[in-house]
Structure formats: structure tokens, C-alpha cells
A = this chain, B = another copy of it.
Amino acid sequence: MTRPSRRPAAAGGARTGRRAGDSGTREAILAAGRAQFAEHGYDGATIRAIAAAAGVDPALVHHFYGTKERLFAAAMQLPVVPSEVITAALAEGGRGPGESAGEHLVRSALTVWESDLVRGAFVALLRSALTSDRAAAMLREFLTEAILGPVANLVDGGDPATTPFRASLIASQMVGLALTRYVLRFEPVAAASADELAAAIGPAIDRYLAGDIKNP
């Protein structure tokens, strides 16, 4: 497995004095992140506490990982950053002619999930959420942040108070699609192409995004 270089050009020579080079520092931050996320959950873990546990300056964590979401994705070995994938999927410019946001989201999600890198990771995340309340909480907090932002951008013509409900309804259909296709392998959903699933499920997502949804 090849990975991108661990040494960003700009990293200069930030050292902790205990470890040699960027690679060790990055690993220490990831290990501290995993431990802090596991102990305090996604919301409870802070960049500051993770930096302290890794023995580095918080600025260095930001330098290497940018945001908490990106650090989480790296610590959990997620090969993508969900909010970035979702934002890209929902961007109007990225859609094909006549393609709705819902269709595009379904197609994009399937493409990401079915890349060699992601496939196992996604099922592993679901599995850990099903076997541990703590892992479920972590995944929930993480996905809430990852999905809410991009969805909020799309419903800003409507009532923004409905955004969390819309986001969790979308999550319910997308998580269910993943479970049905990859774990239960229900036919013909398991064998259908991304285009076929986008046509079948996209309109449901569009309704959750922009249809008449009454807030609970």
C-alpha cells in the first residue's frame, strides 16, 4: 500500500525533541487522537488536549491535519474526509446535465464506498458502532458534523431549523443503502449499478433535501 509522503514541504523542522522527524510526530498525534476520541468521543476531544497528550504544540496539529474532522478521518484511517466528499457531491457545478443533487449524492457515495480503500473501512466503522455504544456515539457525532454543514448549504432557501432532521433522514437512507448493498447483500440492490441506484434513490434524497419535511 502506497501512501502520500508524510513530509509536507512547509513542515520545516518542527521537532518534539523526543522523536525524529515528521513521521514520528504525525504518528504521535494520531495515537493521541485515537486515545482522546475513544475516551472523550468526537465532540469531547479537543485539538488542545490531543496536542498535550502527544507532547506537541496545538499549532502543529493544525499544521499537519487542519481540522478536527481531518484528524479524526486520519486517526480512524478513513481514506476520505466525508464533509469534503459530500460538499463536492452537492455542488451544483459538479453535477451532470439534468442530474439532481440527490442522484449525484447517491452516485458519489457509491463511487467513494466502492473504491478499494474505503470498502472495508466503512463496514468496519458500522460494525464497531453496532458493538460499542462509545463507538456509536463517536460515529454519530462525527457524521452529524460531516453531513450537517453540506446539507445546511443546500436548504438555505428553506427553513434552516429543518436542517438537522433533513440531514438525519438522508443519513438513514444512505447508511441503509450501504448496509443493504455491502453487508446484507440484498438483491437486486447489491448488484445494481451506481446509475440505477442513483435513479431509484436520488428522488428520495431530493425530497429529504428540499421537499416538504415537517420538523419534529
- Give chain B nearest CB distance to A106 CB in angstroms: 11
- What per-residue 1/0 map shows which CB atoms of A137-174 lie under 8 Å from chain B? 10110011000000000000000000011001101111
Q: Is the CB of B165 within 8 A of A200?
A: yes
Asked if A91 is at the interface of the complex by the 8 Å CB criterion, the answer is no
Closest chain-B Cβ to A41's Cβ sits at a distance in Å of 12
Known A184-B136, A204-B204: A175·B176 in contact at CB below 8 Å: yes
- Which residues of chain B are within 8 angstroms of A137 by Cβ–Cβ distance? 185
Main SS at interface, chain A: helix
Interface residues on A, range: 35 or more
Q: Is A96 an interface residue (CB 8 A)?
A: no
- Asked whether any CB of chain B lies closer than 8 Å to the CB of A43, the reply is no
Q: Does A199 contact B (CB under 8 A)?
A: yes
**In contact, A136 and B176 (Cβ under 8 angstroms):** no
In the complex, what residues of B have CB within 8 A of residue A175's CB?
Answer: 176, 179-180, 184
Whether B204 lies near A216 (C-beta < 8 A) is: no
Q: How far is the CA of A136 from the CA of B190 in the complex (A)?
A: 13
Q: Is A130 an interface residue (CB 8 A)?
A: yes
Provide the bound-state CA to CA distance between A144 and B144, in Å. 31
CA distance A179 to B168 in the complex (A): 11
User: What would be 30 A-B contacts, judged by CB atoms less than 8 Å apart?
Assistant: A126-B179, A129-B183, A130-B130, A131-B131, A136-B183, A139-B184, A140-B186, A144-B187, A164-B187, A165-B188, A165-B189, A168-B187, A168-B188, A168-B189, A172-B186, A173-B176, A173-B204, A174-B176, A175-B176, A175-B179, A175-B184, A176-B177, A176-B180, A179-B179, A188-B216, A191-B216, A200-B208, A200-B214, A203-B211, A204-B204
